[in-house]
Amino acid sequence: MEWIFALIGGLIVGALIAYIFTKKNISNQNEILLEEAKKKADEIEQIAIKNKLKSENLLKNAESEGERIKKEKVLQAKEKFLELKSQHEESISQKERKTEERDKRSKEKEHKLNEGLSDLKKKRKALDIEIQNFEERREVLDRKIEEVNNNHKRQVDLLEKISGYSAVEARKELMESLIDEAKTKAQSHIQEIMDEAQMNAQDEARKIIIQSIQRIGTEQAVENSVSVFNLENDDVKGRIIGREGRNIRAIEAATGVEVIVDDTPEAIVLSCFDPVRREIARLSLHKLVTDGRIHPGRIEEVVAKTAKQIDDEIIKIGKKTIIDLGIHGLNPELVKVIGRMKYRSSYGQNLLQHSREVAHIAGTLAAELGLNAKLAKRAGLLHDIGKVPEQESELPHAILGMQWAERYGEHPEVVNAIGAHHDEIEMTSLLSPIIQVADAISGARPGARRQVIESYIQRLKDLESTALGFDGVQKAYAIQAGRELRVMVESEKVDDTRANELSFLITDKIQNEMTYPGQVKVTVIRETRAINIAR
């Protein structure tokens, strides 16, 4: 127990000692803080004194600056006032000077006006004198005119008595004699002028035409209706013929061209009046022989591709032709028509070569006559476009070509030249007779045309058109120089019995409506195909 009391007593003594030391430290700290606060107060007081001094200085400076600015503004206002006063006085003096000048001018005008009035009065007086003199002279002149008229009347009366004619009759007689004399002289001069003009015109026309022909003179090859397809050896002929001739029949059915395989070594003859068909058949045979696969399915495929190739070639030919002739802005449809001319002939003369020749001749003639040579070339190239219709038409080729040219926006003079080059319509411009003359020059040259082939081709076209006029006919080809007509019919519309009947009807129509040498064999072909695809 004693140690507990001792422990408690120790704790109490320790606590008293700690309290005494803590109190002493607090008092020391308060004294330190008090001293620091006094120092801060002294510093603040000094700063306040300094700020007060600065404020007093700033106030004094502001008052002095205000006085200075006030004096400057007063001085500026006085200067501005003096300047405005000077300007006002100057403006007033200028106005006074202008007023004085106006007054001076007004006085001068008034003086001139007074002088003018004085001159006017003098002139008026002189004019009155002149009028009085004129009246007197007029009276004298009237009396003299009356005397002259009386003298003239007495002379006319005297002449009428002497001649026995009145004045009207004498005048009429004189006029008639003068008119007769003038007519005689005029007729003489007119006849001389007409004779000289006709002679000169004929000479000049001959000169122009001869020069044009000399410039454009070209050789002309007459077109044929057959093509020869050359072979490397005769072994290929058997492959072209096929088993029992099926390949040849397929070629003829697809192209409408007669394939003639005879004893001619290393050659096959393709016969057809249509050069486009003949060219398609020739190119197709070339591809088939080169490829080596020759059978009906392949033949139809190659012929279809070749026909597309020929269409592209036609466009290229048309574009090249218009570029060569320097013709621009032609409608694409007309470009195609020009390209198709290469595969058409007119009386044995290649139509494209003929049209190019007409264009050159027409351009030369127009240039010699001082007309539009480019327009003449354009009309010359297009003058026979009516000869290559995609479908047969009953209109003359000149009228058909004129309608096409008008539809595709050609110049009115070109349209008239196309329609009038065979006198189907009236010529309305100088370009039309030039195209007519150029066409005649190109066609009339020796060897340029052959009438027989044109009539032969027309007969073959008529044969095909006759067959196509029947219902169910899909294609019709005239072959063997028109001695055979092969007709392909649609199997869905025409049965075997109708095929026999159709052959008879076509034959009967040809006999009754057409004129032809020898006989024509009509073959109606009806083919049925069953096609399936293995997938």
pLDDT tens-place string over residues 370-420: 888 888 888 888 888 888 776 666 788 888 888 888 888 888 898 898 888
Residue 257's pLDDT band (cuts 50, 70, 90): confident
**What pLDDT score was predicted for residue 372?**
87
Q: Is 287 exposed, middle or buried (0-12, 13-18, 19+ CB in 10 A)?
A: middle
Give the residue among 412, 432, 324, 437 at the shortest CA–CA distance from 371: 432
Higher pLDDT, 449 or 359: 359
Helix 431-444 with 412-420: angle, nearest 10 deg: 40
Give the residue among 504, 507, 475, 477 at the shortest CA–CA distance from 491: 475
Work out the average pLDDT over 14-42. Answer: 71
Parallel, antiparallel, or unpaired for β 226-230 and 267-271? antiparallel
Amino acid found at 330: L
The pair of three-digit structure tokens given for residue 21, joined into one six-digit string: 């030391």
Taking the CA of residue 459 as centre, how many other CA atoms within 13 Å lie in the half-sphere pointing to its CB? 18
Higher pLDDT, 502 or 225: 502
**What pLDDT score was predicted for residue 451?**
45
Instruction: Give the H/E segment covering residue 96.
Output: helix 2-163
Work out the average pLDDT over 336-351. Answer: 77
Q: Is 346 exposed, middle or buried (0-12, 13-18, 19+ CB in 10 A)?
A: buried
Spatial separation of the C-alpha atoms in residues 455 and 515, rounded to whole Å: 11
Residue 167 has pLDDT above 70, yes or no: no
Contacts of 335 (CB under 8 A, 6+ apart): 315, 318, 319, 322
Percent of the chain at pLDDT exceeding 70: 76
Work out the average pLDDT over 141-156. Answer: 79
Q: Give me the phi and psi of 479, to 5 degrees please.
A: -130, 175
Residue 219's pLDDT band (cuts 50, 70, 90): very low
Q: Residue 398: how many CB atoms within 10 A of its CB?
A: 22
Residue written as token pair 């480019």: 374
Question: Which of 4-18, 160-174, 316-330 is predicted with the least confidence, judged by mean pLDDT?
Answer: 160-174
Question: Which of 105-109, 391-395, 460-464, 527-531 is predicted with the least confidence, judged by mean pLDDT?
Answer: 391-395
The partner residues of 476 in beta bridges, in order of sequence, read: 487
Spatial separation of the C-alpha atoms in residues 526 and 489, rounded to whole Å: 6
The SS3 call for residue 459 is helix
**What pLDDT score was predicted for residue 208?**
60
Give the residue among 321, 360, 323, 324 at the shortest CA–CA distance from 341: 321
Q: Residue 378: how many CB atoms within 10 A of its CB?
A: 28
